[in-house]
Chain A
Amino acid sequence: MKLGIALSAAALVALALLPFALSPYTHNLMTLSFLFVATALAWNWLGGYAGQISFGHAAMFGTGGFVAARILLAGALPPPLAWIAGGLVAGAYALIWGHPTLRLRGPYFSIATIGVGEATRLVFTYWDKFTGGSSGLSLPMVPGAKRTLYWEALAFLALIAVASWAIRRSRLGLALFAIRGDVEAAADVGISATFYQDLVLFLSGAATGIAGGIYASYFSFIEPNDMLGFDRSISFVLMAVIGGVGTILGPVLGAVVFVLLRQFLIGSYPQLYLGLYGALLIAVILFEPLGLMGLGHRLVRRAAR
């Protein structure tokens, strides 16, 4: 445990010092990884801890991104506050559709989230007064902002990682794990599935929205199909599943692998990456449902023998 904290702190310091030695390309990749790792962790609060697989998290990523972008364009708030505002709106939006749909379990909830995600994308694409439609929104470029954003994204990731750990150990985490195990039995020990699922969806949605806001600032250009596309939603699911659903380190590893793989594939085989994700998903489910974490445990056990 202490070793884990020490290692995490060391990694954090190393990552914080790294930009001084990075090429712009790697710098970009790292910042992107931080945001995706954070989002995968936040997705995992709902998908892994509570066992409610969402195929619609892009809706919150997009909501947070566009709200933050609009606030920044209006010059109303400094960036961190604009991101938080975007996150809060995204969390509230998640609650609006989540409160009724979270009563559904298993595949039914997942299917409802596909509907929510696609409906949100359509509305955002055609609501051009707010989102700029398919031509998107451009944010003013601030010289040197990318370096600051690297640290801000890293700080956000650290916060989400600590939150993941804290939720897992808290009352909320225990309630969510119990709900995943058996909703009715959870009610029989006094757990209100509605309250705790709503709460975690709000937190997960808000964190995803904040990530969307930072993403918008970093790329200084956003457009609905990139922010809210089905591929975006899938990517959050994939990162967590590849790494290991329900764990903390899993989504971290999964997101890193995802970003690297994506970068590699987009560079060399742009037309293959969706199918390879699919193949990866099939392989994980068939051979190691606990993902990289499960594989790691298995290897450690074998080495110990």
Chain B
Amino acid sequence: MLRVEKLSKRYGGLKAVDEVSLELGREEILGVIGPNGAGKTTLFSMIAGSQKPSSGAVFLEGESIGGLPAHRVVHKGIVRTHQIVRPFANLTVFENALAGATFGRDQTHARAKAQEALELVGLWNRRGDLPGSLTLAGRKKLELARALATTPRVLLLDEVIAGVNPSEALEMAQLIKKIREARKLSILLIEHVMPAVMTLCDRVLVLDAGRAIAAGTPAQVVSDPLVISAYLGSA
């Protein structure tokens, strides 16, 4: 579905992301974990087009999309959410989702799509409210709904679970699973909350200091000595 080849981002001499490659299968959930500053969000930004890669390539179903601006990447079918949620504070919950549906990959039946996305995450009854009145978990769901309304093929989720209370975290994890089933989506997921990673992800990629140091099933990865030392080293 999504193939990333030797993607790098350099700031002067500093390598924020160093030749990271990955492959995301159809309807797969691939977790990206790693200590703070490992380059996870930069990797996402490059795939989503908000930052230009220094080198490397991104393919969506064989089509090269590396270097396209963010809004074009959305039209191709890749959409991201942000670690710190960024709803349009001046638009209602419904209009937020409607923006996604109106300008996304498939722009037909925008109102119906916006409604469907809000119903899926359970925010339809809050449709007339401003995002500022939602809880953090609510705003994370709104960000998810707005992304879903763009009719994506690949979803890039940046820490949608971290920061909410345990029961909300559980609900969020179930929601992600439900979304994958309902929409037949492939999901790339950055997450710090390890139990969620263990239960949600089919495979996990571990980044440290900009490089991919391990990949495999969650169980394989957590017992990998390289991974353990990366985490302990950073702790």
Answer yes or no: A and B touching, Cβ < 8 Å. yes
> Chain B: how many interface residues by the 8 Å CB criterion?
30
Q: Is the CB of A184 closer than 8 A to any CB of chain B? A: yes
Decide: A187 and B91 in contact? CB cutoff 8 A: no
* B163 touches A (CB below 8 Å): no
What sequence of 0s and 1s flags, for each residue 181-208 of chain A, a beta carbon within 8 Å of any chain B beta carbon? 1101111111111000000000000000
Which residue of the partner chain A has the closest CB to B86? Answer: A185
- A190 x B75 contact (CB < 8 A): yes
Q: Is B82 an interface residue (CB 8 A)?
A: yes
Inter-subunit contact A184/B86 (CB<8 Å): yes
Query: Hey, what's the 0/1 contact readout for A211-236 against B, CB within 8 Å counting as 1?
Result: 00000000000000000000000000
Contact B91 A177 (CB under 8 A): yes
Nearest B residue to A246, CB-CB: B90
Segment of B17-25, B66-74, B205-213 in the binding face:
B66-74
In B70-126, the 8 Å CB interface with A consists of: 70-72, 74-75, 79-80, 82, 86-91, 95, 98-100, 102-105
User: Do residues A181 and B103 form an inter-chain contact, with CB atoms below 8 A?
Assistant: no
Chain A positions within 8 Å of B147 at CB level: 188-189
Indicate if the CB atoms of B74 and A189 lie closer than 8 Å: yes
In the assembled complex, 14 residue pairs joining A and B whose CB atoms fall closer than 8 Å, in A order, are: A174-B102, A178-B99, A181-B87, A184-B50, A184-B86, A185-B87, A185-B88, A186-B99, A187-B50, A188-B79, A190-B100, A191-B71, A192-B71, A192-B72
- CB < 8 Å A-B pair total: 79
Which B211-225 residues have C-beta < 8 A from chain A?
A: none
Cβ of B40 under 8 Å from chain A:
no
Q: Are B103 and A175 in contact (CB under 8 A)?
A: yes
Q: With a CB–CB cut-off of 8 A, which chain A residues contact B70? A: 184, 187-188
- Identify 6 new A-B residue pairs, CB closer than 8 A, beyond the known A178-B88, A187-B50, A189-B74: A171-B102, A175-B103, A181-B90, A182-B88, A188-B80, A189-B99
Contact between A192 and B69 (Cβ–Cβ < 8 Å)?
yes
Provide the residues of chain B in CB contact with A190, threshold 8 Å.
71, 74-75, 79, 100, 103-105, 150
Taking the closest CB of chain A, its distance from the CB of B48, in whole angstroms, is 7
The yes or no answer to A180 lying at the interface (CB within 8 A) is yes
Query: What is the interface of chain A mostly: helix, strand, loop, or mixed?
Result: helix
**How far, in whole Å, are A187 and B105 apart by their CA atoms in the complex?**
13
Closest Cβ of chain A: how far from B133's Cβ, in Å? Answer: 15
How far is the CB of B135 from the nearest CB of chain A, in Å?
19
Residues of A within 8 A of B (CB): 171, 174-175, 177-178, 180-182, 184-193
A188-B69 Cα distance, complex, nearest whole Å: 10
Task: List the A side residues contacting B87 at CB < 8 Å.
Answer: 181-182, 185
Contact, CB under 8 Å: B88 / A188: no
Query: Within 8 Å CB of B88, what residues of A?
Result: 177-178, 181-182, 185-186
A27-B234 Cα distance, complex, nearest whole Å: 76
* From A175, A180, A185, A187, residue with most partner B Cβ within 10 Å: A185
Does B50 lie within 8 Å of A177, measured CB to CB? no
Q: How does the 8 Å CB contact mask read for B130-153 relative to A, with 1 for contact and 0 for none?
A: 000000000000000011011000
The complex places the Cα of A225 from the Cα of B105 at a distance, in Å, of 49
Q: CA–CA, A188 to B48, complex, Å? A: 8
| B155 CB to nearest A CB, Å | 12
Residue of A nearest to B100 (CB): A189
Contact A188:B50 (CB < 8 A) given known A177-B90, A182-B86:
yes
Residues in B neighbouring A181, C-beta threshold 8 A = 87-91
Q: Which residue of B lies closest to A196 (CB)?
A: B103
Is B100 a contact of A185 with CB atoms below 8 Å? no
**Alpha-carbon distance A181/B89, docked complex (angstroms):** 6
A170 to B, closest residue via Cβ: B102
Collect the chain B residues with CB atoms within 8 Å of residue A182's CB: 86-89
Which residues from A are CB-within-8-Å of B149?
A: 189
Name the CB-closest residue of A to B74: A190
Q: Which residues of chain B are within 8 angstroms of A186 by Cβ–Cβ distance?
A: 71, 88, 99
Give A182 to B82 CA distance when docked, in angstroms: 12
What distance in Å separates the Cβ of B127 from its nearest Cβ neighbour in chain A?
15
